[in-house]
Amino acid sequence: MADQSIPEARTPEKALDDGALHNAVIKEGVSRRRLLGTAGATGLVLGAAGGTVGYAARPSEATPLASVGADEAMFHGKHQPGILQGLQACGHLVAFDLAAGVGRKGAAALLRRWSQTARRLMAGEGTAADDTDVARDAGPSALTITFGFGYSFFARTGLEKQRPVALDPLPDFSSDQLDKARSNGDLWVQIGANDALVAFHALRAIQKDAGSAARVRWQMNGFNRSPGATAHPMTARNLMGQIDGTRNPKPSEPDFDRRIFVPSSGSNDPSWMANGSYAVVRRIRMLLDDWENLSVTEQENVIGRRKANGAALSGGSETTEMDLEKTDAQGNLVVPINAHARITRPDQNGGAAMLRRPFSYHDGIGTDGVPDAGLLFVCWQADPLRGFVTVQRKLDRGDALSKYIRHESSGLFAVPGGAAEGEYVGQRLLEG
Ligand SMILES: C=CC1=C(C)c2cc3[nH]c(cc4nc(cc5[nH]c(cc1n2)c(C)c5CCC(=O)O)C(CCC(=O)O)=C4C)c(C)c3C=C
Ligand SMILES: [Fe+2]
């Protein structure tokens, strides 16, 4: 897999090797305002000089835990941040609906405010006014803030002609048990950071910026493993204990851009979506009591990969190609015919691929008496019909995993390309 791993030590603007997804646009540096003159800053400098430092052992005085705070993702760029960066430890997904009468002008003003806040906070600065101080003393901590538009945004702002066909509502799937109140929305914001206070600070700032122009429709909070928690960078695990993300498309693959990002020309998308991507967001509850009642062998047959190391059941290591034809002594397929990792493969789905970049969630015990926990499944693609929908249709027809999960909410959002210097996100739509 690779690697939804979160690297432990980074050099300035270092692009990680192919496996890593990807802090390619993360640069290491002491945040101007927050860290200067603090003990943390010293730790960071030591960390940068020291190269890779394993955190598996008990932290020593030289262990630069504070280096996590120094990681900074760029707000301006070809693509919005929060798509190519490695998984972050904390996340908030939040959808907003515009207030009645706000219209295109009000929406433009909101996106301008949000972009200014995102740029400042991602650089480790405070908000332009009335900062809450929640992230005071912390560095940027790899904060990313990503903005998207839902189907309903376009009618509310009189921009129907600019609505991409790709935003047409997702089809119903037979296994869906969706809560409409926690689905879709006019606007979507994804916040991720490697520090919980930094992420919360950003969430509050975005909410406050919304003012009376938009109200929160739904919000979900998630998490991933903290950077440095494992002895070496590795693919993330989910709450079922599986290594999850192994076969994500990699930026170095020749067709990566074509699969994940809308091209500048030659597609059916409106020009304002150039270099953008479509995010499908599904809150997927894991039926953990049922899952944990299975033996490890049964669990591995559901996925088609080993739980310990993510290797395909046909053998090898995590990155060894799965042998779909391999049979055991009795002639049975070693990777079961309905195993999740078999039937989701691009070569079983007409080439359909997506970049999965999820957060786990846990909201205590549900009213049904079992954990309200699972995956905030976020996947990115240039065309959701060719990506998510194709694969989910297949899963709906017979995925061994479906007995152990429940899709509880859904969203589809058009995420425009990154803002150039001096621009705000979505400007080409709102002022085009
Ligand atoms: C419609 C798309 C998908 C949904 C929904 C989905 C849910 C889901 N998946 C896991 C765990 C794993 N998924 C793995 C691989 C995998 N899953 C999808 C798509 C969806 N998953 C794809 C496209 C792939 C990769 C296929 C390939 O290219 O070979 C794996 C195996 C390791 C890996 O490659 O990541 C695991 C484990 C859960 C728990 C889940 C819902 C809660
Ligand atoms: Fe999956």
Q: Measured in angstroms, how far is the CA atom of residue 270 from the centroid of ligand 1?
A: 30
For every one of its 432 residues, what pLDDT tens digit does the chain have, with 9 covering 90 and above? 334 432 332 323 323 333 333 333 455 544 434 443 332 222 222 222 222 222 233 444 555 445 899 999 999 999 999 999 999 999 999 999 999 999 999 999 999 999 999 999 999 999 999 999 999 999 999 999 999 999 999 999 999 999 999 999 999 999 999 999 999 999 999 999 999 999 999 999 999 999 999 999 999 999 999 999 999 999 999 999 999 999 999 999 999 999 999 999 999 999 999 999 999 999 999 999 999 999 999 999 999 999 999 999 999 999 999 999 999 999 999 999 999 999 999 999 999 999 999 999 999 999 999 999 999 999 999 999 999 999 999 999 999 999 999 999 999 999 999 999 999 999 999 998
In ligand 1, which atom is closest to the CA atom of 238? 39
> What is the set of active-site residues?
244
Q: Which residue, by CA, sits nearest to atom 22 of ligand 1?
A: 344
| Secondary structure class of 72 (helix, strand, coil) | strand
State the Cα–Cα distance between residues 297 and 364, nearest whole angstrom. Answer: 28
Global pTM? Answer: 0.89
Q: Measured between alpha carbons, how far apart are the two ends of the chain, in Å?
A: 40
- Our answer on whether the CB atom of 21 is closer than 6 Å to any ligand 1 atom is no
Q: Report the DSSP beta bridge partners of residue 141.
A: none
Q: Which residue, by CA, sits nearest to atom 27 of ligand 1?
A: 345
Q: Which ligand is nearest to the CA of 284?
A: 1
- Our answer on whether the CB atom of 151 is closer than 6 Å to any ligand 1 atom is no
**416, 276 in Cβ contact below 8 A?**
yes
Helix (H) / strand (E) element for 190: namely strand 187-193
- Our answer on whether the CB atom of 400 is closer than 6 Å to any ligand 1 atom is no
Q: Measured in angstroms, how far is the CA atom of residue 13 from the centroid of ligand 1?
A: 30
Q: Measured in angstroms, how far is the CA atom of residue 340 from the centroid of ligand 2?
A: 6
Backbone angles phi, psi at 20, to 5 degrees: -85, 135
Q: Looking at residue 252, what is its pLDDT?
A: 96
Q: Measured in angstroms, how far is the CA atom of residue 344 from the centroid of ligand 1?
A: 7
Q: Measured in angstroms, how far is the CA atom of residue 193 from the centroid of ligand 1?
A: 23
Q: Looking at residue 11, what is its pLDDT?
A: 28
Q: Looking at residue 12, what is its pLDDT?
A: 30
The residues, ordered by sequence, that sit 6+ positions from 370 with a Cβ below 8 Å of its Cβ are 287, 288, 289
Helices (H) and strands (E) in the chain, counts: 12, 11
Q: Which of 320, 340, 389, 392 to mutate to test the pocket of ligand 1 (most atoms within 8 A of CB)?
A: 340
Q: Measured in angstroms, how far is the CA atom of residue 245 from the centroid of ligand 1?
A: 7
State the Cα–Cα distance between residues 277 and 155, nearest whole angstrom. Answer: 21
Indicate the burial class of 193 (C-beta count within 10 angstroms; 0-12, 13-18, 19 or more). buried
- Our answer on whether the CB atom of 120 is closer than 6 Å to any ligand 1 atom is no
- Our answer on whether the CB atom of 346 is closer than 6 Å to any ligand 1 atom is yes
Q: What is the 3-state secondary structure (H, E, C) of 387-400?
A: HHHHHHHHHHHHCH
Q: Looking at residue 271, what is its pLDDT?
A: 97
Q: Which residue, by CA, sits nearest to atom 23 of ligand 1?
A: 344
Q: Which residue, by CA, sits nearest to atom 24 of ligand 1?
A: 344
Q: Looking at residue 66, what is its pLDDT?
A: 56
Q: Measured in angstroms, how far is the CA atom of residue 377 from the centroid of ligand 2?
A: 9
Q: Which residue, by CA, sits nearest to atom 12 of ligand 1?
A: 244
Q: Which residue, by CA, sits nearest to atom 5 of ligand 1?
A: 392
In ligand 1, which atom is closest to the CA atom of 349? 23
Q: Which of 224, 356, 407 to mutate to test the pocket of ligand 1 (most atoms within 8 A of CB)?
A: 356
In ligand 1, which atom is closest to the CA atom of 282? 5
State the Cα–Cα distance between residues 368 and 400, nearest whole angstrom. Answer: 23
- Our answer on whether the CB atom of 244 is closer than 6 Å to any ligand 1 atom is yes
